[in-house]
Structure 1
Amino acid sequence: MSTDFAVCFTPGTITDPQDPHASLYDYDDANTVITLADWYHKAAPSIQEIYLRGNGGGNHEPIPDAGLINGAGRYKGGPATPWARVNVVAGKRYRLRVINISAYAGFEFSIESHSLKIIELDGINHAPLTVDRMMVYAGQRYSVVVHANQAVKNYWIRAPMELQHSSDNKNLDTENVYAVLHYAGAPAAEPTTRARGSSGTLLQEHLLAPLENPGAPGGNHPADRSIDLGFTRNTNGQTEWTVNDIRYESPDLPTLLNIVANGFTAEPDFTTHENTYVLKKDQIVELVIHGSANGHVHPFHLHGHPFDVIQGNSGPANYINPPRRDVVGVKGGTVIIRFKADNPGPWFLHCHIDWHLEAGLAVVFAEAPNEQRTGPAPQIIKQSWLDLCPIYRALPPALQ
């Protein structure tokens, strides 16, 4: 069992030399990267096995033992590990890059006595929007500008966790997730104010608008391809998450290899459990994702594309300037997203909660398969690699 919650993790960031928001902040460096994580004492394979066993083990998702900010956190009965510290100088403005790297938990992020000016989400610049707190779900990223314009002292950075049946793990206190915003000249100590509790304006996602090229693909006209995706959980015999009644299972051969080497271009070419949809090049694709009634927020992530959130969990439908991102939270209602199929390749759409992905909550979009094999930008696979497929198939089953 782990007893120390000082975990090392260094995310990679890419800075834009043409950043349109550069005038809004003074600092953007390693000190201003904020990671939010859930931490488990037990190794993932063992607790995953129990979860996937369903009625034979446990129906609930594995619950973490603690929440961490920048790798530091505490659990009930554990050591008083020092909180992570973000250092600032009075009067300066800081671009904080807030990243949720958790397996399960969402976090409500805020900084005591400071507002958050959101300027980017999931790598897409947005018009500045000021809030006091925001939900950050697994896989989501935000850049916020924080102005160090308060009295010189220490302030709580708060990130209480949102996840179901948290009482399953007696070590976890979902509220006890903190770091310290430390002003230069303040004592090296925890804030003296009351730690728990946050208030003020909570981010409503539909109020965010992309800064560049706003507007959903195809405007308010019907999409070229509209796909309904409904997902459910099944615990009869084992825990499964399905999309349109199909649990995703990885194929023996990667989807890209089947497209390029074996000529897979139509949906019947793929097995049922690959749950693969074939998209034509440059189609306007609309995904209508029907939420689960069990109360989870499922953060759905699409590889290969940012997408426009036409209808999210808040606000009316918007085709004019909807938020653009690559991870969207889906709860009990219906979420509608759009993208243009202009990036040939096999792209995964999956729930970013690790336990749900392992249980099958995913589909694949085989985008423009013909263009992956021929045309100006084909995917080239060496013959020596292609020769591996018949070699593999010739192996006895025990070695495959």
Structure 2
Amino acid sequence: MKLFIFLLALFGSTLAAQTTHTWYYTAGWVTANPDGEFEREVAGFNNTWPLPILRVKKGDRVQLYLTNGFPHHNTTLHFHGLFQNGSAQMDGPEMVTQCPIPPGETFLYNFTVPDQVGTYWYHSHTQGQYGDGMRAAFIIEDDEPVPFEYDEEVVLTVGEWYHETSDQLLPKFLDLYNPTGAEPIPDNLLFNDTHNGVWEVKPNTTYFLRIVNVGRFVSQYLYMDDHDFTVVEVDGIYVKPNVTDMIYITTAQRYGVLVTTKDDTSKNYAFMSAFDTDMLDVIPKTLELNNTNTISYSPDNAKPEEFFVDDYDYLDDFYLEPLEKEALLDEPDHIIEVTVEMNNLGNGVNYAFFNNITYTKPKTPTLLTALASDPEIVANELIYGTNTHSIVVQHMDTVDIVLNNLDTGKHPFHLHGHVFQLIHRGDSVPDDESPVAFDYDDHPDFPAYPVRRDTVYVKEQSNIVLRFRADNPGVWFFHCHIEWHLDQGLALTLIEAPEQLNADPRQKLTENHKDICTKAGMSWNGNAAGNTKNFLDLTGQNVQHKPLPAGFTARGIVALVFSCIAAFLGLASIAYYGMSDIADVEARVARDLDVDLLDVDNEQVDSEIIEESSNERRKNSL
């Protein structure tokens, strides 16, 4: 009896400690001018922008009602870095764990905050929207004191900004006339959603600065004039304090740092954020590569001048040590080896691939297929489609993701539903050398207590190895967090512990979720092809475009495109000359077609010479 009373009291105190946060937000377009240079539509909440910073404590309940106020776009919401134990349908990526929310409809994100603390963020997981501004920090606090001392907390978001919306940029990016897949170049860098921002500080104060890269593309270097960062957290994991004067932060990564200010208030200092220019195909002369923000001790002081560094010598997060040590997990039960490559398909567009598969959305969200499947076939990868790159992993397996990067650029990769151990990262390989793949028989020793993150970058033409325990049944997206590359298909889907997922009553699809699918015109109980009767029948599934004809390359497509343009202009010129009374018309035509007239009478140009020269030029251009 006493034990029962004790347990009842304990249960009651737990319920009393839990807070339910109920938020009502309508997503829609808002006019704003973040960098002070161009006013445009941004994706906001409740007719305001930026979005609010959301704060909870571990164990709290979140009930966020998201109404889609966009007139012509679907929407979704992802709480980046949260495990969503038992609530996989609340994870957010469109057509992975949920049907998109159509205009005018409301979806309830209802989940318990997991046993996590630290710096996270939330953002739309529908194409282009978080790049248009639908993102903000999500902070999980703890009743227990943090393992370091500070006086005040500050949230800092960084990212790049475009003057054009995603609706304007995407068609030009995923286009035949961009066959090399060159990403759109940003117009500016943002610092707390403004350009050349100001951080007002007090003297002799230690700040806990929560830094989140909410950008869609470019990694940034962060450094300060005569101040240091002491790194104490990465992606929600506390680490042993590490002092550095420069941080390299990719999109979706978070750093918790301590910054102690000076006693003297007579000077303001520069807080620099700089593009990783290696990620830009071209650098316009008008692009400001260094954003000079201000650490302001007094508004009466002069603004700081741009602060330069000799080279970008930044902290290597691979060597950070978590405070809560987790030993290197056992040898893997399941190795997922993928190769990253960018290439063109038969429509001429440049796509991104894992092992020659570019992710193509199914007709039923993958999680919903798992929940609707018979237990006998739920672990059959076929029912999830051939172009979702779905991989089944068994409950409590140790899993290695071995990622070999054939691309000449860096990529930040994010795994939903987990943090992973980063157990290996290879050095970058120059463009003029061959890419280097990971070799289990020839590599440096793995760290005894690896750093844990949910987003980590792979270097140019190099490799990484990520290890995690499959202890969270669900459907989890693994993808590049450069949004342009996700748009190109650089993603795969993990079907984790499908039998346990399928049998867990907590995972049962909500009626609101079913209703959203119906109103979106989508199946909530079918396979990847939307087939609700025979899950092994994939007739009509979405698949990637057919490959290019043998021998075609991106360079060949460029040549073809410009040859077509040249041919069009040539025909236009001939038509124009033919219809106009122009002096020396024959000489001008011959000149445009690159015909040598030294031995040709100006009164008559040999048509055979013109035709032969024109054919030769077309042949050379291809």
TM-score by length of 1: 0.86
Q: By how many angstroms is 1:382 displaced?
A: 4.9
Which residue matches 2:472? 343
Within 5 A, what are the aligned runs for 1:66-85? 66-73=188-195, 83-85=196-198
Which residue matches 1:282? 396
Which stretch shifts more, 320-329 or 11-20?
11-20
Report if the CA contact (8 A) 2:342-2:353 is conserved. Answer: yes
Report if the CA contact (8 A) 1:110-1:198 is conserved. Answer: no
Which residue matches 1:110? 223
1:267–1:180 distance in 2 versus 1, CA, 3 Å: same
SS at match of 1:320: coil
Q: By how many angstroms is 1:186 displaced?
A: 5.6
1:41–1:280 distance in 2 versus 1, CA, 3 Å: same
Which residue matches 1:297? 410
Q: Distance in 1 between matches of 2:192 and 2:260?
A: 20
Q: Distance in 1 between matches of 2:248 and 2:220?
A: 6
Amino acid at match of 1:121: V
Which residue matches 1:79? none
Deviations 1:44-89, CA, capped at 9 Å, x for gaps: 122111111144566301110111111122xxxxxxxxx3211221
Higher relative contact order (CA 8 A, sep 6+): 1
Amino acid at match of 2:244: V
Which residue matches 1:212? 324
1:234 equivalent among 343, 351, 358: 343
Which residue matches 2:450? 322
Q: By how many angstroms is 1:291 displaced?
A: 1.6
1:18–1:292 distance in 2 versus 1, CA, 3 Å: farther
Deviations 1:353-395, CA, capped at 9 Å, x for gaps: 00000110000100011111215x541125783994389969x
1:260–1:2 distance in 2 versus 1, CA, 3 Å: closer
SS at match of 1:195: coil
Deviations 1:97-151, CA, capped at 9 Å, x for gaps: 1111111110001111011100000111111111110100010000000111363
Structure 2: give runs of 5+ residues left out of the alignment: 1-30, 37-48, 53-136, 428-442, 532-539, 541-622
Which residue matches 1:380? 508
Amino acid at match of 2:384: F
Report if the CA contact (8 A) 1:9-1:70 is conserved. Answer: no
SS at match of 2:257: strand
1:71–1:304 distance in 2 versus 1, CA, 3 Å: same
1:56–1:259 distance in 2 versus 1, CA, 3 Å: same
Paired positions, count: 374
1:203–1:4 distance in 2 versus 1, CA, 3 Å: closer
Which stretch shifts more, 2-11 or 123-132?
2-11
Q: By how many angstroms is 1:260 displaced?
A: 0.6
Report if the CA contact (8 A) 1:38-1:67 is conserved. Answer: yes
Alpha-carbon RMSD across the aligned residues, in angstroms, is 2.7
Which residue matches 2:280? 165
Report if the CA contact (8 A) 2:369-2:524 is conserved. Answer: no
Deviations 1:199-226, CA, capped at 9 Å, x for gaps: 68520122201111322222xxx21111
Say whether residues 1:249 and 2:291 are aligned partners.
Answer: no
Q: Distance in 2 between matches of 1:141 and 1:382?
A: 32
1:40 equivalent among 144, 157, 162: 162
SS at match of 1:12: strand
Report if the CA contact (8 A) 1:65-1:169 is conserved. Answer: no
1:180 equivalent among 278, 294, 309: 294
Q: Which entry has the higher C-alpha Rg, 1 or 2?
A: 2
SS at match of 2:328: coil
Which stretch shifts more, 7-16 or 383-392?
383-392
Amino acid at match of 2:383: D
Q: Distance in 2 between matches of 1:357 and 1:180?
A: 34
Which stretch shifts more, 284-293 or 52-61?
52-61
Deviations 1:250-291, CA, capped at 9 Å, x for gaps: 111111110011343221222111100001000000111112
TM-score by length of 2: 0.56
Report if the CA contact (8 A) 2:368-2:524 is conserved. Answer: no
Amino acid at match of 2:315: L
1:90 equivalent among 203, 216, 235: 203
Q: Distance in 2 between matches of 1:313 and 1:19?
A: 37
Amino acid at match of 1:131: T
Report if the CA contact (8 A) 1:50-1:57 is conserved. Answer: no
1:359–1:199 distance in 2 versus 1, CA, 3 Å: closer
Which residue matches 2:50? 8
What is the percent sequence identity of the aligned residues?
28
